[in-house]
Homo-oligomer: A and B are copies of this chain.
C-alpha cells in the first residue's frame, strides 16, 4: 500500500477522514506512525496529498487530508483481454491497474473454460477491490472502467468498434507478422488472448474490426507475464 485510498464513506467533515481497519493496521504496524505523523493519501476518483494522523484511539484513527497534486496520468491503452483463469484474475487486474490502464474488457474466447464465467471472483465488488489494490500500489486514484463480455461475437461485432475508439488496434499473435510497435504515446487498443491463443475465427473477426496482428517473440508466455511485457513494449509509460 503506497497510498491511503480514502472513500467517500470515510469522510467525516472538513478535511477530516476516518481510516478503515486495514488502513489503521498499515499506518500503525507497517509505517509505524503516531499522532502528528503523515503519509501519502488520495481520494478515490480525486486528488492526492498528505494525510496527517489527527487522533488515534484504540482501533479508530482519524487523519487530516490535504490535497496537493493530481494522480499519475492514465495510460492511453484500452485492454481487450480474454477472461483469465480465476486464480490469475486477481493478479492481472492489480497489474493492469497499477500500470495505469483505465479501460478493460474481459471477453470470452473459444479457449476460455466456460466455468471461469461462473466464479464468484467476477462479482463487481470483488473486481473493484482488486483494482483498488492496483491503485494503492501505483499511487493512483482513478478506477478503471471494467466491462464483462461473456459472448465474443456480439461484443466484437456490435460494441468493439465504438468501445476501442480512435487509435491503433493491436493483436499479439504468433506468426510471420511485423514486430510489435513500441514507445507509443497516443491511444492504443491491445487485444490479449487466452492461454493457447485466439482461434483463427476470433483473429479474423478482430481483424475485421481493424486489429492488426504483430509478433511478440517465439516464446509462449503466461498471460500474467505477457500483459506487463506487452504494455511495457507498446507504450511509453507516462
A229: which B residues are within 8 A, CB to CB? 99, 228-229, 231-232, 237
Chain B CB count within 10 A is highest, among A139, A183, A217, A227, for: A217
Interface of chain A: mostly helix, strand, loop or mixed: loop
Indicate how many identical chains form the complex. Answer: 2
User: Which residues 72-108 of A have a CB within 8 angstroms of B?
Assistant: 72-73, 94-95, 98-100
Chain B CB count within 10 A is highest, among A94, A182, A229, A230, for: A229
Chain A 220-238 interface mask (CB, 8 Å, partner B; 1/0): 1110011111111100111
B99 x A236 contact (CB < 8 A)? no
Give chain B nearest CB distance to A223 CB in angstroms. Answer: 11
A216 nearest in chain B by CB position: B237
Cross-chain contact of A219 among B182, B222, B237 (Cβ < 8 A): B237
Give chain B nearest CB distance to A170 CB in angstroms. Answer: 13
A162: which B residues are within 8 A, CB to CB? none
Given contact pairs A229-B232, A232-B233, A233-B233, A100 touches B219 in the complex (Cβ within 8 A) = yes
A139: which B residues are within 8 A, CB to CB? 219-220
Cross-chain contact of A137 among B217, B218, B222, B238 (Cβ < 8 A): B222
Whole-angstrom CA separation of A2 from B221 in the bound complex: 10
B138 x A221 contact (CB < 8 A)? yes
User: Which residues 160-187 of A have a CB within 8 angstroms of B?
Assistant: 179, 182-183
Cross-chain contact of A217 among B179, B225, B227, B237 (Cβ < 8 A): B237
Whole-angstrom CA separation of A233 from B138 in the bound complex: 19
A237: which B residues are within 8 A, CB to CB? 216-219, 229, 233
Whole-angstrom CA separation of A71 from B53 in the bound complex: 57
Give chain B nearest CB distance to A50 CB in angstroms. Answer: 16
A residues near B, CB below 8 A? 2, 72-73, 94-95, 98-100, 137-140, 179, 182-183, 216-222, 225-233, 236-238
A100-B219, A216-B237, A217-B238 given; name 8 further pairs at CB < 8 Å. A99-B219, A100-B217, A137-B220, A182-B182, A183-B183, A218-B237, A221-B228, A228-B229
